[in-house]
Structure 1
Amino acid sequence: MAQGEQAGDVTGDGAGTHRLVEVPGGRIHLVEQGSGPLVLLVHGFPESWYSWRRQLPALAAAGYRAVAIDVRGYGRSSRPGAVEAYRMLAHVGDNVGVVRALGEEKAVVVGHDWGAPIAANSALLRPDVFTAVGLMSVPYSPRGGMRPTEGFAKLGGDEEFYIGYFQRPGRAEAEIEPDVRGWLAGAYASLSGDTMAPEGSPSPFFVARGARMSERFVDGPLPGWLSEAEFDVFAQEFERTGLTGGLNRYRNVDRDWEDLAAWDGAPVRQPSLFIGGQRDSSTTWMRDAIAAFPTTLPGLAGSHLLEDCGHWVQQERAEDVNRLLTEWLANL
């Protein structure tokens, strides 16, 4: 076995291989399963490669080389200290580096949550490498005319939109670090279709002045799709690494806006797929982005909103996502 590889049953459903690969920006930890055309899976916040544990065996069984990465700042991937090291261009570079390190020239890229814009921008900036793109929970929205932090400031009114709350280094960490497990459990439950607060409840995405984001999290059991043992995998990683790497992605939205000025309004033309949850705030806030798909994603094969599903779509509705994903891949 090559250096940097470790085989084992990493998904609970079959054999997988952990690897550390070198990319220009450092190292990326990944888990791969199967052989065939490469499908690169990119997670969001606050997650890890493990968010794709139910997709790895399904994609492998369908004849693909499925690879789920820990995005820089997470897990065993590099965690640079500088905030600006987490700008979008760096994440796109990591994705290209992973494809090359795996000995491949091209890949389909699929992302969830923050992984969705990372996947979309990977396809936008490097269409020579990423031949198709799947987006989950967060629809593609091209770079626009307003600086992002200015737009987020207008959303909150007397309260702060959570992305604004995350901007100052150390602020969210001071809330999260004393009880990483409790914060994660509340975040997962608050955004899950089966455990989120009733409609009309104060939104956890808005923070009252002087308050903490977690004060509006639901207080109850873990979602039905997340066992205690599975939750331990997430919690133990974040207890070890902290969440600064993930939070630094949010702290680069204005840098991304500056870096991507040449792609203002640009569509992603490759074959694409969108899957979201009907109960996910991302699909309601960004309904205009979904409506604009004929212009922004001219290669769109399907846009699916899953009933009674929240934000963690590939974990909440694994069978539906696996079916939609493999059917789309088969028709590329």
Structure 2
Amino acid sequence: MPQPTPADRTHRLVPSPAGRTHLVEQGDGPLVLLVHGFPESWYSWRHQLPALAAAGYRAAALDVRGYGRSSKPAAESAYRMLDLVEDNVAVVEALGERSAVIVGHDWGATIAATSALVRPDVFRAVGLLSVPYTPPGGPKPSEVFAGMGGEQEFYVSYFQEPGRAEAEIEPDVRGWLAGFYAALSADTMPEPGAPDPHFVTRGGTLRDRFPRGRLPAWLSEDELDVYAGEFERSGLTGALNRYRNMDRDWADLAGHQGAPIRQPSLFLGGSLDASTTWLADAIEAYPTTLPGLTASHLLEGSGHFIQQERPEETNRILTEWLGGLDA
């Protein structure tokens, strides 16, 4: 049987509460919805689309609202988590399905987890890449982030101030993206003891700490051009507005404080990824917070962009997990 290729992908625009959601789908079978993180697009799943199609699934990778060809509402508050959940529900319905498995990476993992939490009637299983599940609740996020770093400023607080990160990024979107991807990838991230790119020197920029002059092995110049082209057209404000709604999410989800996700779940992280190491306690809590966890993997030597850094292993783990859901 011929293996799926990029030529087999179908681009679609479907109606959603955002206005429209752009997605790329490939394959036939049970629906698997793929949700990207920051600062990426549907393209971050380019290695998974053909693999899932070959395994007998209908894979659909979307552009989250504010990204790529999806709608970009003007109001900052239009990017709260519950709005993104409803976009996902609308995509499932627009594709003629009643339910789906949802898989997310980075912010997409949190979007996927929240989708599974609040709409278990639609999302029958959830896969989380790089960012562990932490139930809603706890202290107000902006206060937590403001207290991190001491004399330095945590990147989330930096991103939360409207216009500030945009002023850093806009003059050279391609160069900024190259540095950001390099900073969090295993083969190009700063050596231990070097200034941490998750923090900003007071009065400085995040870019000051990015590696320069070398792309990570998973990213070619042509692939970087794809990402840069998307953000040069769309700008970064829609993407950054996700960070600017964390306090609103905290209030919106107060009724789910401490709630576990009970559907079958998967976690896949990288051993060199700060998202995994900083949230090690969240992973240890999975017996309570993810009682339906059926597979958990930590890839040694992988950084943050796990499905692009280690596509073959990611594809194997995903397809084995998906195959076990209906076994």
Regarding TM over 0.5, the answer is: yes
SS of corresponding position for 1:71? coil
Structure 2 residue aligned with 1:299: 292
| Aligned equivalent of 2:232, options 217, 223, 239 | 239
Structure 1 residue aligned with 2:20: 27
| Kept in 2: contact 1:140–1:289 (CA 8 A) | yes
How many angstroms does 1:157 deviate by? 1.2
| Kept in 2: contact 1:14–1:57 (CA 8 A) | no
Residue 47 in structure 1 maps to residue 31 in structure 2 = no
- Any idea what the Cα deviations from partners look like across 1:124-147, whole Å, max 9, x if unmatched? 000000000000000000112200
Q: Aligned letter for 2:92?
A: V
How many angstroms does 1:113 deviate by? 0.3
How many angstroms does 1:12 deviate by? 5.7
Q: Aligned letter for 1:320?
A: E
Q: Aligned letter for 1:37?
A: P
SS of corresponding position for 1:237? helix
| Kept in 1: contact 2:266–2:295 (CA 8 A) | yes
SS of corresponding position for 1:81? coil
Structure 2 residue aligned with 1:125: 118
Separation in structure 2 between the aligned mates of residue 23 and residue 180 of structure 1, nearest angstrom: 28
- Any idea what the Cα deviations from partners look like across 1:145-202, whole Å, max 9, x if unmatched? 2000111111121111100001111000000000101100000011001111111211
Gaps of 5+ in 2: none
Structure 1 residue aligned with 2:313: 320
State the identity %.
70
| Aligned equivalent of 2:256, options 263, 267, 285 | 263
Q: Aligned letter for 2:44?
A: S
1:215-254 → structure 2 map (5 Å cutoff): 215-254=208-247
- Any idea what the Cα deviations from partners look like across 1:241-271, whole Å, max 9, x if unmatched? 1111110000000000000000000001100
| Kept in 2: contact 1:73–1:245 (CA 8 A) | yes
Structure 2 residue aligned with 1:286: 279
The TM-score normalised by the length of structure 1 is 0.96
1:101-250 → structure 2 map (5 Å cutoff): 101-250=94-243
SS of corresponding position for 2:147? helix
Q: Aligned letter for 1:283?
A: T
Separation in structure 2 between the aligned mates of residue 180 and residue 191 of structure 1, nearest angstrom: 17
SS of corresponding position for 2:160? coil
Structure 2 residue aligned with 1:272: 265
Separation in structure 2 between the aligned mates of residue 236 and residue 145 of structure 1, nearest angstrom: 38
Separation in structure 1 between the aligned mates of residue 225 and residue 160 of structure 2, nearest angstrom: 28
SS of corresponding position for 1:155? coil
- Any idea what the Cα deviations from partners look like across 1:76-106, whole Å, max 9, x if unmatched? 0000110000000000000000000000000
Separation in structure 2 between the aligned mates of residue 159 and residue 294 of structure 1, nearest angstrom: 35
Q: Aligned letter for 1:87?
A: R
Structure 2 residue aligned with 1:4: none
How many angstroms does 1:220 deviate by? 2.4
Separation in structure 2 between the aligned mates of residue 12 and residue 236 of structure 1, nearest angstrom: 22
How many angstroms does 1:231 deviate by? 0.9
SS of corresponding position for 2:15? strand
How many angstroms does 1:13 deviate by? 4.0
How many angstroms does 1:14 deviate by? 4.3
Separation in structure 2 between the aligned mates of residue 12 and residue 215 of structure 1, nearest angstrom: 39
Separation in structure 2 between the aligned mates of residue 86 and residue 222 of structure 1, nearest angstrom: 30
Q: Aligned letter for 1:159?
A: Q
Gaps of 5+ in 1: 1-10
| Kept in 2: contact 1:136–1:274 (CA 8 A) | yes
Q: Aligned letter for 1:147?
A: K
- Any idea what the Cα deviations from partners look like across 1:196-243, whole Å, max 9, x if unmatched? 111121111111110001100011211111111111100111111111
Separation in structure 2 between the aligned mates of residue 289 and residue 200 of structure 1, nearest angstrom: 25
The TM-score normalised by the length of structure 2 is 0.97
Separation in structure 1 between the aligned mates of residue 315 and residue 306 of structure 2, nearest angstrom: 11
Separation in structure 1 between the aligned mates of residue 5 and residue 143 of structure 2, nearest angstrom: 44
| Aligned equivalent of 1:69, options 62, 66, 75 | 62
Separation in structure 1 between the aligned mates of residue 270 and residue 207 of structure 2, nearest angstrom: 22
Separation in structure 2 between the aligned mates of residue 24 and residue 174 of structure 1, nearest angstrom: 29
Separation in structure 2 between the aligned mates of residue 32 and residue 255 of structure 1, nearest angstrom: 32
Q: Aligned letter for 2:259?
A: A
